[in-house]
Structure 1
Amino acid sequence: MTSAVNLATANAVGPEISWKGSRSRLKALTRLDDEEIESLRLPSPIFPHKCISVALAHTVTQDVYRHHRPLKLGICAMEDKVCSKSNQEIFRRLEADSHVEVVLFGDKMLLGKPVQEWPACDFLIAFYSDGFPLDKAISYTRLRSPVCYNDLLMQKLLFDRRLCNRVLNHVGVRTLKRLEVNRDGGPRASSRELVQHVYNRPPAVSLSEDENTLIVDGRTLHKPFVEKPVSAEDHNIYIYFPRTAQTGGGRRLFRKVGNKCSEYDPNLVVPRCITEKHTTRSYVYEPLLSADNGEDVKAYAVGPQYCYAVTRKSPAITGTVRRDLSGKEIRQATGVSKFEAEAASKISAAFGQSVCGFDIVRDQGKSYVIDVNGWTSVKHQPEFYGQCAQVLRQMLASRRPN
């Protein structure tokens, strides 16, 4: 398969994929009975949904536009993200279509004006980053009822890795075995009190005598393992290696600083869930896999039809970012397996995100989804920009208001 896989190929037989189904997406949130699950359901903003036909992956019907005014597409996000080179590549291609008028909201509008003064749009691309007023944007969608490319309520769910993992498991996407140390009342859904009732017992957490095994409520996980804060906005992820005569310690991962993305610490032995025992900080623990070729896979779903993927050197290996002569991080387009293509389709539909990045680790012929990121910029990949804009344009055509 090519690096840009059309998901219609993987799903050539079967029903069209609908953006409906928030109930099925969210039934996996907590260990609750049916009545409690129903009370926790997070409704999506009210707007007309339409199925996306597999045929749209191949052709655009210009007849849809005939005799209609240009469609207004609102871009509702922080300016630093909207103006990034990769996002500009996509939005510029959309605006090149004479049937689409792109309207940028801007920080001044988002932060300083009431939603009643935000411009009315037929379609809306909105995604979270630092400083973005998500609750305000949700209020806007309820007021104006645009067709949303990205379900804003479901973006709240992306903040908590525990909830993401439950949704992934529920829709059949392969994830890693993991342990959770919950001291914050557990995952947050629309009824925090109910979820806290389920998770209100503090976990029993300990480390084995040889300091090589984490024990949480009787369940065990052996080093090497990865420790992730439950907040998906916290990128301070630690790796703990088994203590032997030759090795031990751990590696601290962080957002890139220059050419550095992690550092080894020989004294990183005891997990934070133990050193921070009397706090409310919570963590997810997963086994560390030996990634094939020492590479991570960054994948990008665009609707249920299209997936693009690149590889990069895993930050867990050396902690150094590989760059080319122009200073750009080296990322290579990679083929996508049938499982990865199907996972992309399920993730896009389950989380209600028309553009959604997610991370994969390939290990001995199997692929595991380890994180879901929401709208993510794809750097220096012209092939992706063109295909992404084309699919988004096709979605506009298929959902055009009457």
Structure 2
Amino acid sequence: MSALHKLAAVKNGPEASWDDNHMKLLARMNDEEIEILQLPSPKYSAKNISTELCRIPVQKDHIMSSPWRLGICAMEDKALSKANQEIFRRLHVDGLIEVVLFGDKTLLSKRPEEWPICDFLIAFYSDGFPLEKAISYTKLRSPLCYNDLLMQGLLFDRRLCNRVLDYLGVRTPKRLEVNRDGGPRAYDWGLVQHVYDRMGLGIPGPREREATYERFHPPRVSLSEDGNTLLVDGRTLHKPFVEKPVSAEDHNIYIYFPTTPQGAGGGRRLFRKVGNKCSEYDPDLIIPRCITEQGTTSSYVYEPLLNADNGEDVKAYAVGPQYCFAVTRKSPAVTGVVLRDASGKEVRLPTEVSKEEADAAAKISTGFGQSVCGFDIVRNKGKSYVIDVNGWTSVKNQPRFYAQCADILQQMLMSHVAKQIAKN
């Protein structure tokens, strides 16, 4: 029986349990000298961005034999979340695919040379994740990567992320940037080259700090006399608008409302959920931080506040270029109260994905090189706007998504294995 037919037969049997035997923390490798390969980045045509698994090319044929090891390279609080476990346990197939969790101790305390050797790798950033070590590991071991680790570096800066979305032709809100940090830049030249090789997009590279600020002139920023319009180097944005820190890790997002005969102005502070709260209204939130923090290097992105249809945001989840799942939730810009069901779970309801949203999902997954990638949408007057890209995320309490996601990830793995077998 071929590997592909064997996989199909196993999948039709009882569901595999992802217990301690399947979720292995491998012991330390034998102590031996390992030469770290200095390998070039993969190259893709700007007009034909690769949709296959990311692979750093090796200098000799890489012949795999089953069981194939699929490494989960992520912080334990994310890898062991209920939603991700639902996906990862479905990927395990006895005798065919072995799922291996690296674990925090391995990621943080051991050198990449000591990490488990895997044929395939799911790796994604969260707070505390050693991204540089993970990139070194992929260069050393050359696994087939479900997530392009270098491209994840673009997600740290909202400005760089927006530039990629613009280049991909994904609809985003109009925006103003207040840059006092020298402007958006890749953290190293390797990322600059990788982005250009992958998709033909040029992004600014790092500079010496002194050279950056010697040539950089901070923007002229002011607020109109009535306090309702932000002016940045002669460009204007009227309230209500959204203020986002340029760091995607900073979730302190503010909304500013206009003062009118019908409205008292003020603003709303958005933040990560605390109990049943996700935002709060502040009547004194009038002057944007780009004005109150002048003289600092604080930088912000400003966008018009789009009134979400039905007062709902859309959380979308792309799995490769062919599948997108989405749920709605009550927008934190509306009341700031998390809507929960009788069992205490946040209410998130599946929603149909429009053609425009499906196209955006395909572009985001392919362009950023992330086989699984979450992103946020605001639907406004029949149009959909992408307002954030999150990298690997998994929706809670949605078995249909877990099954579809695992099935597609398995298909990607087996498709590559079949090609390798055909070559040899």
Q: TM-score, normalized by length of structure 1?
A: 0.83
Residue equivalent to 2:401: 384
**Counterparts in 2 of 1:121 and 1:341: CA distance versus 1, 3 Å:** same
**Counterparts in 2 of 1:22 and 1:266: CA distance versus 1, 3 Å:** farther
| Alignment partners' CA distance in 2, 1:221 and 1:313 | 26
5 Å-filtered alignment, 1:1-400, equals 21=44, 46-47=56-57, 68-96=65-93, 98-189=95-186, 190=188, 191-193=205-207, 196=212, 200-245=216-261, 246-400=263-417
- Which amino acid in structure 2 is aligned with residue 95 of structure 1? H
Give the secondary structure class of the aligned counterpart of 1:116: helix
| Alignment partners' CA distance in 1, 2:214 and 2:147 | 30
C-alpha displacement of 1:271: 0.3
C-alpha displacement of 1:263: 0.1
| Partners of 1:249 and 1:264 within 8 A in 2 | yes
Structural RMSD (CA) = 2.2
Identity of aligned residues (%): 74
| Alignment partners' CA distance in 1, 2:304 and 2:382 | 17
| Partners of 1:182 and 1:199 within 8 A in 2 | no
| Alignment partners' CA distance in 1, 2:212 and 2:369 | 26
C-alpha displacement of 1:207: 0.6
| Partners of 1:47 and 1:146 within 8 A in 2 | no
C-alpha displacement of 1:76: 0.2
**Counterparts in 2 of 1:47 and 1:357: CA distance versus 1, 3 Å:** farther
C-alpha displacement of 1:169: 0.6
| Alignment partners' CA distance in 2, 1:142 and 1:380 | 36
C-alpha displacement of 1:193: 1.2
| Alignment partners' CA distance in 2, 1:25 and 1:182 | 33
- Which amino acid in structure 2 is aligned with residue 214 of structure 1? L
| Alignment partners' CA distance in 2, 1:198 and 1:174 | 35
- Count of equivalent residues: 350
Once the two structures are overlaid, the 10-residue window that deviates more, 205-214 or 97-106, is 97-106
| Partners of 1:25 and 1:350 within 8 A in 2 | no
| Alignment partners' CA distance in 2, 1:22 and 1:279 | 40
| Alignment partners' CA distance in 1, 2:44 and 2:287 | 42
| Alignment partners' CA distance in 1, 2:95 and 2:368 | 31
Select the structure with the greater relative contact order (CA < 8 A; seq sep ≥ 6): 1
Q: Structure 1: which 5+ runs fail to align?
A: 1-18, 27-43, 49-66
| Alignment partners' CA distance in 2, 1:152 and 1:24 | 21
**Counterparts in 2 of 1:359 and 1:25: CA distance versus 1, 3 Å:** farther
C-alpha displacement of 1:200: 1.9
| Partners of 2:312 and 2:328 within 8 A in 1 | yes
| Partners of 2:67 and 2:96 within 8 A in 1 | yes
Q: TM-score, normalized by length of structure 2?
A: 0.79
Higher Rg: 2
Give the secondary structure class of the aligned counterpart of 1:168: helix
